[in-house]
Amino acid sequence: MALTFDPFSQLDRFAASVLDSVRAPRLMPVDLYRDGDRYILHADLPGIDPGSIDVDLDGTQLSIRAQRTADSMEGVRWLARERGAGAFLRQFTLGEGVDLDGISASYESGVLSVIIPVSERAKPRKIAVESVEQPQAINA
Q: 11-62 pLDDT, tens per residue?
A: 566 655 555 555 555 678 999 999 999 999 999 999 888 999 999 999 999 9
For residue 17, being part of any structural domain is answered with no
CA distance 64 to 34: 19
Q: What is the pTM of this model?
A: 0.68
> How many domains does the structure of the chain reveal?
1
For residue 44, being part of any structural domain is answered with yes
As a whole number, mean pLDDT of residues 73-87 equals 82
CATH (domain of 104)? 2.60.40.790
pLDDT at 75: 86
Give me the domain span that covers residue 107. Answer: 31-69+85-122
As a whole number, mean pLDDT of residues 82-102 equals 88
- Residues in CB range of 102: below 8 A, 6 or more apart: 116, 117
CA distance 100 to 38: 12
